[in-house]
Chains A and B, each alone.
Chain A
Amino acid sequence: MTHDPHEHEGHEHAHDHDTHAPIGAKEPEGYYPLLADAVRELLIEKGYFTADEHRAFIERIDARSPALGAKVVVRAWTDPKFKQRLLDDGKKACAEMGVDVVVANLVVTENTPAVHNVIVCTLCSCYPVFVLGRPPDWYKSAAYRSRVVRDPRAVLKEFGTEIDAKREVRVHDSTADMRYLVLPMRPKGTEGWSTEQLEKIVTRDTMVGVAECRLAA
């Protein structure tokens, strides 16, 4: 155990370890990563896709980020006709902006003074990756998935988001072919802001619905 990865924990200034130590696997792979590798290799071997296609697909997902979703949201805030098209058909409206949502369709749920929306996938971890990039770990956790659907107000409170008792909370469970995007409310005090300024306050969490847009802290 000369290369115990935990050896240096707690030693913030420990620069004395051998930075030239050979890099090697120190722990056995977990069951699921191994399974995923095995399935990937089999699919490539059987010709379903090539290693390059698989790599390129992951690269394509990793190129997406919440900044894309923010562009869509800000356009909806500033262009009422676009907003209507977005609510009518999320996939088509995103395509107008050069954003291919890839999946069957994108359901855009609008937050209003009467309704707050929040998204979950109780069965697995479906997420609009082509609009927001990869999901955060908490979105995939069993705790979020099981709790937000049955006690959304308490879970939102843990995220620091208190929904007025008079507002309806609407949970969207992505159980099949659709993906969901919350259209957050534009905060008061942002009149006259530039597109760039507005895009900064539209964060990932506001488009999943665990937070609301706020004027920059």
Chain B
Amino acid sequence: MSWGEGIASRFKPGDKVHVAERYPAKGHFRTPFYIRGKTGVVERICGQYHNPEELAFGKYDGPEKVLYRVRFDQKQVWPDYHGHSADKVEIEIFEHWLEPAK
């Protein structure tokens, strides 16, 4: 997988990351509520893209942000999940929503 090549990223595939548990009142966020505050593992670096939080308000020249694909255990995301314990959900999350997991 050569997806992250040449990108200065804070995290790399395999890193454990925590999704910030922030609930800003206004804005266009691509981090779904259900995944905020959860811990997952970086699956790949998807590249660098403009921040949708700025694009939605007409700011097209802001800095690009690193976009990750993060894998979570369903059992951790939904405490009442009743599928297989190996079931996963994978989501794209921008770097500024991620923190290193303790």
Kindly provide the distance from the CB of B36 to the nearest chain A CB, expressed in whole angstroms. Answer: 12
B86 at the interface (CB under 8 A from A): yes
Secondary structure of the B contact surface, majority rule:
mixed
Interface residues of A in 151-177 (CB under 8 A from B): 151-153, 165-177
B24 at the interface (CB under 8 A from A): no
Among candidates B1, B47, B87, residue contacting A168 with C-beta atoms closer than 8 Å: B87
A175-B47 contact, Cβ under 8 Å, with A151-B83, A168-B87: no
Give 1 or 0 for each of A173-186: 1 = CB within 8 Å of chain B CB: 11111100000000
Q: Which residue of A lies closest to B49 (CB)?
A: A177
B90 at the interface (CB under 8 A from A): yes
B93 at the interface (CB under 8 A from A): yes
Instruction: Count chain B residues whose beta carbon lies closer than 8 angstroms to a beta carbon of A.
Output: 29
Among candidates A88, A89, A123, A149, residue contacting B89 with C-beta atoms closer than 8 Å: A149
Query: Once bound together, how far apart are the Cα atoms of A104 and B90, in whole Å?
Result: 18
Query: Once bound together, how far apart are the Cα atoms of A167 and B94, in whole Å?
Result: 30
A150 at the interface (CB under 8 A from B): yes
Query: Once bound together, how far apart are the Cα atoms of A174 and B46, in whole Å?
Result: 12
A105 at the interface (CB under 8 A from B): yes
Q: Which residue of B lies closest to A171 (CB)?
A: B89
Query: Once bound together, how far apart are the Cα atoms of A167 and B88, in whole Å?
Result: 11
A107 at the interface (CB under 8 A from B): yes
Say whether A175 contacts B93, CB under 8 Å.
yes
Chain A neighbourhood of B82, CB < 8 A = 151
Say whether B92 contacts A150, CB under 8 Å.
no
Query: Once bound together, how far apart are the Cα atoms of A175 and B97, in whole Å?
Result: 13
A150-B34 contact, Cβ under 8 Å, with A174-B92, A177-B67: yes
Say whether A173 contacts B46, CB under 8 Å.
no
B32 at the interface (CB under 8 A from A): yes
Interface residues of B in 1-41 (CB under 8 A from A): 1-3, 30-32, 34
Say whether B67 contacts A176, CB under 8 Å.
yes
Q: Which residue of A lies closest to B87 (CB)?
A: A169
Say whether B34 contacts A149, CB under 8 Å.
yes
A-B contact pairs, 11 of them (CB 8 A): A105-B46, A149-B34, A150-B81, A153-B84, A166-B84, A168-B84, A175-B30, A175-B93, A176-B92, A177-B67, A178-B92
